[in-house]
């Protein structure tokens, strides 16, 4: 009978595996329509028009890269997108952050932060601390700050880095490129308390000025409903397949099946209903004694199942190279395999669930029963009523539930009712008890971090030349918690190490410029050379291979017959020679007339009669060979004095002379308190000066005349014969 049961369970195990693969595959296909990847730069409306964001060229030429210089102008993510992100974080129990960045050397900067609901409050942030060489996850739970640091990340070195941060379940991992740099086990799921209402998510913006990100960002995304293996595979990372791919032992933490199947919860999680128990402590003690005996029986069955599981190991390996256990996230317990999100009963009163390759178990809490003598059904944990003799007749209404017996963790609540014995015998309990639970009790204490001992020095990084040796230490003795200070100092030390000099092969230096050709026409030779000095061969290195000199033909065209060698053209006229020895002359130079061979001076004064100003019909133009110039403007005239060569210059640069007006030109010698009166171009003098009202004098000197009698208040020093208005 036992063997029959084992074979039946073996067949059910096969069926469960196939159904799990089919359901998981359909779950993947059905979830493709939902938005699972969020481009944070795009949903924050960050583009080339954003104030304080400068556009740069990153490693991916198809995507923009940004450096932020005005962090107070960085826009947050759209509110509707933030609500979706927070909802997916809760459903997926975390998220995966993918980013391409280049952080300034030794700088500290925020990569991603969620702040709110208050102005100065923050829920969590991810900071790259270049000074401590860590990637810090900082989150707040019940007003307490928690800091978790991944060490020796080497992000702040002014080099482009492609990083992947995994915060899912209890995992906090950092991948740079395809390499896992560091990991940490989270003690509490902070993401369950994230809020989207009145909150804001920022990229690169820190809580204070010193925490703003200094560097370049490109292609920063939040990813959900995708395993870390698929994310790394999309980035071109290949996982090696070892010969022991199907081996399962005590050190196996995560099992995989192929194709990769992820089953994620979609929809609203059901609320946990209130549960209560109406049993006394004596009755519960008897129940646990019986359950202890059942546990022994169950353990014996588990041992037998383990033997069957070992026999089924061969059957699992027959699934095929693409169906192996190491390509699928499953759970393994007591020789049995459970798919992701699958639940099972361990000992009738303990229920376990597979969550991301981790087994999470909790004790089944029995609801209250309404009968006085409940009974137990074989294989069931909770008591049930076999009849319905109990009734509410004679009982008073139930009182309110008492306060929970604890402020954190799991406790109990009670309520009661009284019986009116004059009306009924009152069948049923008069006291009910139910379980109550609050947040998980935090038994941690605040402690500062402390360094561990240094590791031994590594071997030299090179076999010849100058290399490095490295040793590390971890901030885990103890780990900082509850706001404790991080370790001060570096977690890595590097020193130089020297080996024998490496052989240096010779390399050619650049070619010298080509030498001048030996002839100008008819074909010649030119040459260039190079030296084996970039570098020279040293320490047994190989010499350069090739020639030190190179020759080339030059000036291969035939030599022409130059008819212009005899200078047949007028000086200044262009001479054109032809292969047959003939020649032709271009036009005469400016200021000359002719055919290019014979040229005569052009008289611009005659060709343009009004090029210069005339006085009494007398032309004031002087012709030169070649060119012309105008005489200066006559007395009492002002203007230009043009000159030049050629007809075009004479037509465009004509002399203009205008009559002088000292009063208009401000060239008169009148006193500042006098008025200049223009008498005429041909008058002598051309103007006169008269003192204004309130002043007296000869016009060139004016003094105040307070009584307006035409005489100055004080004697003035005027020119000769001008004392009439200057001396009282």
Q: Is residue 118 part of a domain?
A: yes
693-705 average pLDDT score? 84
User: What's the confidence (pLDDT) of residue 334?
Assistant: 66
Q: Which residue has the higher pLDDT, 439 or 697?
A: 697
| Across 311-329, average pLDDT | 50
Q: Which domain holds residue 475?
A: 451-481+491-500
Say how many CA atoms lie within 13 Å of 127 toward its Cβ.
24
Q: Which of 449, 445, 396 is nearest to 418 (CA)?
A: 396
User: Is residue 14 scored above 60 in pLDDT?
Assistant: no
572: region left, alpha or beta (phi > 0 left; psi from -120 to 50 alpha): left
| pLDDT, greater one: 212 or 434 | 212
Do 568 and 630 fall within a single domain?
Answer: no
pLDDT at residue 611 greater than cutoff 70: yes
Q: Identify the CA nearest to 256 among candidates 264, 246, 266, 243.
A: 246
Residues 559 and 575 in one domain: yes
CATH of the domain at 459: 2.20.100.10
Residue 79 lies in a domain: yes
Same domain? For 194 and 213 the reply is yes
Same domain flag for 101 and 136: yes
What confidence score (pLDDT) does residue 18 get? 46
Q: Same structural domain for residues 712 and 620?
A: no
pLDDT tens profile 173-209: 999 999 999 988 887 788 888 888 889 999 998 888 8
Q: What is the pLDDT of residue 250?
A: 39
Report the pLDDT value the prediction gives residue 263, as an integer from 0 to 100: 34
My answer on whether 97 and 194 are in the same domain is: yes
* Per-residue pLDDT reduced to its tens digit, 37-66: 999 999 999 988 888 788 888 888 888 999
* Dist CA 456 CA 424 (whole Å): 83
Q: Using the structure block, give the residue that is written with the tokens 């020759």.
A: 551
The whole-number pLDDT of residue 328 equals: 60
Average pLDDT over residues 471-489: 90
The DSSP result for 114-125, as a single string, is EE-SSSS-EEEE
At 489 the pLDDT is 92
Same-domain pairing of 668 and 648:
no
- Which of 117-126, 380-389, 717-726 bottoms out in mean pLDDT, i.e. has the lowest? 380-389
Query: According to the model, what pLDDT value does residue 32 have?
Result: 43
38: burial class by Cβ within 10 Å (0-12, 13-18, 19+)? Answer: buried
The stretch 510-521 carries a mean pLDDT of 91
| Among candidate residues 219, 217, 130, 128, the one with its CA nearest the CA of residue 174 | 128
In a domain, 648, yes or no: yes
147 lies in the same domain as 113: yes
Q: Domain ends where: 210, 235, 260?
A: 235
pLDDT bucket at 222, cuts 50 / 70 / 90? very high
- Residue 268 counted as domain residue: no
Query: Which of 700, 603, 676 is CA-nearest to residue 645?
Result: 603
Band of the pLDDT at 338, cuts 50, 70, 90?
confident
Query: What mean pLDDT comes out for the span 470-487?
Result: 90
Output the CA–CA distances (angstroms, integers) from residue 623 to 220, 244, 511, in the order listed: 80, 108, 60
- 442 lies in some domain: no
Identify the weakest region by mean pLDDT among 202-206, 328-332, 723-727: 723-727
State the total domains in the chain. Answer: 5
Element containing residue 10 per DSSP (H, E): helix 2-30
* Alpha carbon distance 385, 374 (integer Å): 5
**What pLDDT, on the 0 to 100 scale, is given for residue 288?**
73
* Radius of gyration of the chain measured on its C-alpha atoms: 50
**Residue after which a domain boundary falls, among 235, 267, 294:** 235
* Whether residue 685 is found in the same domain as residue 560: no
666 in the same domain as 652:
no
Of the three residues 469, 500, 531, the one that is the final residue of a domain is 500
Q: Are residues 607 and 668 in the same domain?
A: no
Residue 263: inside a domain, yes or no? Answer: no
Residue 158, domain CATH: 2.60.120.200
**Does the pLDDT value for residue 313 go beyond 70?**
no
Band (pLDDT 50/70/90 cuts) for residue 307 is low
pLDDT of 7 reads 43
Work out the average pLDDT over 591-611: 84
Indicate whether 289 belongs to any domain: no
Check if the beta carbon of residue 617 is closer than 8 Å to that of residue 634.
Answer: no
Question: For residue range 657-688, what is the model confidence (pLDDT) as tens digits?
Answer: 888 888 888 888 888 888 898 888 778 788 88
Which pLDDT tens digit goes with each residue over 420-474?
877 777 888 888 888 886 667 777 788 899 999 999 999 999 999 999 999 999 9
d(Cα 323, Cα 303) in Å, to the nearest integer?
27
Mean residue pLDDT of the chain comes to 79
* Predicted pLDDT at 386: 53
Specify the range with the lowest mean pLDDT, choosing from 153-167, 288-302, 525-539.
Answer: 288-302
496 and 639 belong to one structural domain: no
Exposure of 522 in the CB half-sphere (CA atoms within 13 A): 6
- Dist. CA 59–CA 72, nearest whole Å: 27
Residue 558 sits in a domain whose CATH number is: 2.10.25.10
First to last CA, the chain: 154
pLDDT of residue 727: 73
Q: Looking at the domain assignment, is residue 577 inside a domain?
A: yes
């Amino acid at each position: 009978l036992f063997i029959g049961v084992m074979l039946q369970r073996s067949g059910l195990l096969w069926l469960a595996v196939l159904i799990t693969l089919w359901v998981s595959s359909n779950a993947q296909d059905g979830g493709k329509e939902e938005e699972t990847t969020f481009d944070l730069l795009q949903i924050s409306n960050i583009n080339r028009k954003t104030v304080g964001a400068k556009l740069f060229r990153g490693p991916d030429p198809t995507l923009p890269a940004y450096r932020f210089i005005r962090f107070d102008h960085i826009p947050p993510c759209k509110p509707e997108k933030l609500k979706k992100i927070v909802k997916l974080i809760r459903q997926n129990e975390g998220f995966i952050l993918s980013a391409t960045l280049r952080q300034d050397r030794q700088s500290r900067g925020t990569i991603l932060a969620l702040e709110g609901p208050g102005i100065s409050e923050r829920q969590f942030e991810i900071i790259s601390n270049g000074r401590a060489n860590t990637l810090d996850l900082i989150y707040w739970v019940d007003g307490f700050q928690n800091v978790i640091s991944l060490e020796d990340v080497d992000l702040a070195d002014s080099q482009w880095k492609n990083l992947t941060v995994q915060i899912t379940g209890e995992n906090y991992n950092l991948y740079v490129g395809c390499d896992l740099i560091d990991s940490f086990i989270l003690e509490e799921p902070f993401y369950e308390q994230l809020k989207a209402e009145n909150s804001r998510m920022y990229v690169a913006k820190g809580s204070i000025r010193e925490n703003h990100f200094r560097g370049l960002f490109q292609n920063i995304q939040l990813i959900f409903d995708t395993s870390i293996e698929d994310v790394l595979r999309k980035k071109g990372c290949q996982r090696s397949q070892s010969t022991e791919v199907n081996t399962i032992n005590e050190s196996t933490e995560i099992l995989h099946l192929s194709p990769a199947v992820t089953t994620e919860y979609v929809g609203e999680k059901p609320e946990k209903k209130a549960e209560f128990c109406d049993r006394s402590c004596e009755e519960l003690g008897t129940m646990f004694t019986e359950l202890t005996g059942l546990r022994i029986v169950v353990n014996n069955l588990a041992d037998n199942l383990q033997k069957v599981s070992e026999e089924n190991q061969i059957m699992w390996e027959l699934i095929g190279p693409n169906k192996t256990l190491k390509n699928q996230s499953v759970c393994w317990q007591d020789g049995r395999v459970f798919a992701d999100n699958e639940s099972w009963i361990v000992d009738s009163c303990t229920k376990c669930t597979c969550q991301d390759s981790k087994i999470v178990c909790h004790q089944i809490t029995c609801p209250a029963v309404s009968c006085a003598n409940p009974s137990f059904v074989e294989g069931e944990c909770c008591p049930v009523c076999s009849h319905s003799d109990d009734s509410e007749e004679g009982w008073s209404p139930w009182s309110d539930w008492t306060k929970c017996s604890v402020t954190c963790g799991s406790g109990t609540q009670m309520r009661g009712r009284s019986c009116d014995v004059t009306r009924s015998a009152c069948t049923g309990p008069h006291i009910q008890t139910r379980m109550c639970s609050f947040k998980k009790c935090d038994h941690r204490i605040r402690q500062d971090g402390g360094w561990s001992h240094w590791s031994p020095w590594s071997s030299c990084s090179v076999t010849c030349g100058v290399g490095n040796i490295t040793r590390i230490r971890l901030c885990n003795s103890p780990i900082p918690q509850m706001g404790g200070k991080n370790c001060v100092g570096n977690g890595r030390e590097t020193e130089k190490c020297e080996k024998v000099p490496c052989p240096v092969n010779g390399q050619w230096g650049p070619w010298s410029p080509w030498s001048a050709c030996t002839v100008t026409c008819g074909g010649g030779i030119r040459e260039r050379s190079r030296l084996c000095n970039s570098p020279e061969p040293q320490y047994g290195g190989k010499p350069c291979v090739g020639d030190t000199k190179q020759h080339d033909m030059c000036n291969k065209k035939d030599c022409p017959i130059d008819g212009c060698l005899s200078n047949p053209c007028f000086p200044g006229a262009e001479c054109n020679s032809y292969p047959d020895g003939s020649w032709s002359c271009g036009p005469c130079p400016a200021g000359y007339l002719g055919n290019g061979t014979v040229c005569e001076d052009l008289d611009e004064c005659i060709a343009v009669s009004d090029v210069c100003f005339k006085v009494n019909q007398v032309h004031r133009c002087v012709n030169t060979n070649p060119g012309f110039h105008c005489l200066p403007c006559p007395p009492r005239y002002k203007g230009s004095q043009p000159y030049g060569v050629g007809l075009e210059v004479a037509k465009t640069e004509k002399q203009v002379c205008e009559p002088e007006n000292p009063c208009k030109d401000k060239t008169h010698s009148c006193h500042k308190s006098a008025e200049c009166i223009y008498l005429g171009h041909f008058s002598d003098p051309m103007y006169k000066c008269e003192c204004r009202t309130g002043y007296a004098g000869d016009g060139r000197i004016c003094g105040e005349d307070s009584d307006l009698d035409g005489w100055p208040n004080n004697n003035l020093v005027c020119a000769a014969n001008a004392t009439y208005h200057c001396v009282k």
